[in-house]
Each structure stands twice: as C-alpha cells, then as structure tokens.
Structure 1
Amino acid sequence: MDKSAKLQTQLQTILYGQPWYGTPIYTILEAVSFEAAYQKPQGALHNIYQILTHMLAWTEEATERMQQKPAAQPLRGDWSTSGTPDEQKWLQLIASFKLANVELTQQITAFTDEQWTEDTNDSRETYTGYGATYEALITGLMQHHVYHAGQISILNTIING
C-alpha cells in the first residue's frame, strides 16, 4: 500500500471507520443535538459548534496547503463565535465538515510517494520540530481531529448528563 492509500485509510478510519481509540468522529457528531452544539458549560472555553467550526477551518487550510498554497491562518479564522442557535446552521456545518474532508481525501489520493516527504509552502519555520512535510501536515491534522472530537464528546456528555 502506498503512502497516499495509507493516509487516506487512516483519515477515513477516524472519520467513519473503526478507530482504535473508540468512536469515529462522524458518529460523535451524530450524537450532538443542535441545542447541545450551542451550549457552553461553565468553565468551557468553546462550545461544540465553535470547536467543529475550528476543525472545518483547519481542514480547509490543510487542503489549501496540499495545493501548494502558502501556509496561513484559515480563511474563516481560527475560532469563531457560534451566534444564535439554529438547527439548519448546525446541520450545514456538519455537512461542510464532511465535504471538506472529502476534498482533502481527494488531495491525499492525488499525491505520489515522493511528494509526501517534500516541505509544504510554510516559511514560518514554527512547525513541531520534525519538518513541515506534507505527511506531517496530514498526520498533524488527523491528530487535531481526534483531539477536538474528544472535546466534543466530553462536552456533549456534560451537557446531556
């Protein structure tokens, strides 16, 4: 199996497969009502809606970087406000997150093994110490997804008791 296929499989596993750590991300999101998505428990920095918007923003930014565009903050910003609770807005956010991951998967599939070890277009040199390669970018994004999915799961449990 080539590097693209391995990374694609890993991403799909955490999104809707059977990940080793537990519940896949899309299943976690299905358990969140739109009311819960907008609630912010005491002491929480962000609500579920804001966390998912953050995940979407960085998925879109990773896709941009996969297209060799310069690294930057996400176009939609890093953290947003959630606004007034709205069921359609929540459902649209989930759909946008899924679509962004489909688009990212298409970028992953198009890469050759040689491209994965190339540096991304990131002149900031503030990466995590192991190089800003395309493989590190996608691996880091998957870690980011899992981390925030855990937060969503915990917040949903706190809100729903």
Structure 2
Amino acid sequence: MSTSQKLNASLQSILSGDPWYGPNTYDIIDNISFEATYETPPGSVHNIAGIILHMLGWTLETTARMQGQLAGEPAGGDWPNPGTPDERKWQQLINSFKLANVTLGGVIEDFPEDKWDAPTNDKRNRELGTGVSYRALIEGLIQHHVYHSGQLALLNRIAG
C-alpha cells in the first residue's frame, strides 16, 4: 500500500470508518441536535458550530498547503464566529466540512509518492504547524480532527 493510500485510509477511518477509539467524526456530527450546535456550556470557550468551522478552516488550509500554497491561518480565521443559530447554515456547514474532506482525500490520493517526506515550502513555525513534511501535515490534520471530534462528542453530551 502506498503512502497516499495509507494516509487517505487513515483519514477516512476517523471520518467515516470504524476507528478503534469509538465513533467516527461523521457519526458524532450526525448525532448532534441542532439545539446543541450554538450552545456554549458554562466553562467552555467554543460551541459545536464554532469547532466545526475551525475544523473546516484547517481542512481547507491543509488542502491548500498540499497544493503548494504558502501556509497561513485559514482564510476565515483560526476560530471564526459561527454567528447566530440558523439550521440551514448549520446543514451547509456540515456539508462543507464533508466536501472539504472529500477534496482533501483526492489530493492525498494524487500526491506524488516521492514527495511525502519532503518539507512543505514554508519555514518551521510551530504555532502555524509549518515547515514539516507533507506526511506530517496530513498526520497532524488527522490528529486535529480526532481531538476536536472528542470535544464535539463531549459538548453534545453536556447539551443533551
């Protein structure tokens, strides 16, 4: 199995497969009630909609970096404001997140095998996660998705 196939399989496993640690990201999202999406529980900094916006932004940013763009924060910011509750906007956010990950999966599958261990075209900046290999970039996004998926599950449980 090629590096592209392994990394994409890993991404797909945590998004929609059967990861060893529990429910996948899409199952977690699909079980969130709309009523819980914009609620920020006491002691929390973010709500569910805000976390998914953050995850979407970094998925898009990672895809752009894989396609050779210089690194930066996501176009909409690191933690964009999700705004006021809007069920149609919530459904669009979910669809955008899923589509962004489909797009990234295609970029991973098409990535040249001999470039996975090459550094991205940025200097090392730990806060932005730049200057790592393309493999580390994708592994980091997978870890990022897992981390925030746990937050989504917990916030949904608190709200429920």
Secondary structure in structure 2 of the residue aligned to 1:117:
coil
Query: Is 2:120 the partner of 1:127?
Result: no
**Cα-to-partner distance string for 1:75-133 (whole Å, 9 max, x where unaligned):** 1110011211111110100000000001100110011221101111222x12389x600
Partner of 2:139: 139
Q: CA deviation at 1:45?
A: 0.4
The unaligned stretches of length 5 or more in structure 2 are none
Give me the identity figure in percent. 53
Partner of 1:59: 59
Q: CA deviation at 1:35?
A: 1.5
**Whole-Å Cα distance in 2 between the matches of residues 116 and 19 of structure 1?**
24
Return the TM-score normalized by structure 1.
0.95
Query: Is 2:91 the partner of 1:91?
Result: yes
What letter corresponds to residue 74 of structure 2 in structure 1? P
**Cα-to-partner distance string for 1:29-49 (whole Å, 9 max, x where unaligned):** 001112100000000000000
**Whole-Å Cα distance in 1 between the matches of residues 121 and 144 of structure 2?**
20
The unaligned stretches of length 5 or more in structure 1 are none
Return the TM-score normalized by structure 2.
0.95
**Whole-Å Cα distance in 2 between the matches of residues 113 and 141 of structure 1?**
19
What letter corresponds to residue 125 of structure 2 in structure 1? T
What letter corresponds to residue 126 of structure 1 in structure 2? N
**Whole-Å Cα distance in 1 between the matches of residues 6 and 68 of structure 2?**
21
Secondary structure in structure 2 of the residue aligned to 1:93:
helix
**Whole-Å Cα distance in 2 between the matches of residues 35 and 23 of structure 1?**
21
- Which range moves more in the overlay, 114-123 or 96-105? 114-123
What letter corresponds to residue 141 of structure 1 in structure 2? L
Partner of 1:25: 25
